[in-house]
Amino acid sequence: MEKIDKAKQFFSEAKQELKKVSWPSRQQTITSTWVVFAVTAVLAIFLGLVDLVLSKLVTYIIR
């Protein structure tokens, strides 16, 4: 029974703490998501170009 009481206390305290959280608005969440997508796309393109240049350089050096 002690474990059940501890679990109940944990969830009760977790619920109280979640009420204190300052959640972002829907618009802030959407904006942040688009920023993450944009940064990911830019980094993917950059790393793809770096990979392409380095592979061409290594091919040139080996031949």
Q: What is the mean pLDDT of residues 3-12?
A: 93
Q: Please report which confidence band the pLDDT of residue 63 belongs to, taking 50, 70 and 90 as the band edges.
A: confident
Provide the whole-model pTM: 0.65
> Considering the chain, what is the average pLDDT of its residues?
95
Domain map of the chain by residue range? 24-63
CB 14 within 8 A of CB 22: no
23 conformational bin, left if phi > 0, alpha if psi -120 to 50, beta if neither = beta
Hey, CA dihedral for 20, 25, 29, 34, is it positive or negative? negative
Residue 37 confidence (pLDDT) above 80? yes
CB 50 within 8 A of CB 42: no
Q: What is the mean pLDDT of residues 41-57?
A: 98
CA distance 20 to 16: 7
> Residue 54 in 3-state DSSP?
helix
Q: What is the mean pLDDT of residues 19-26?
A: 94
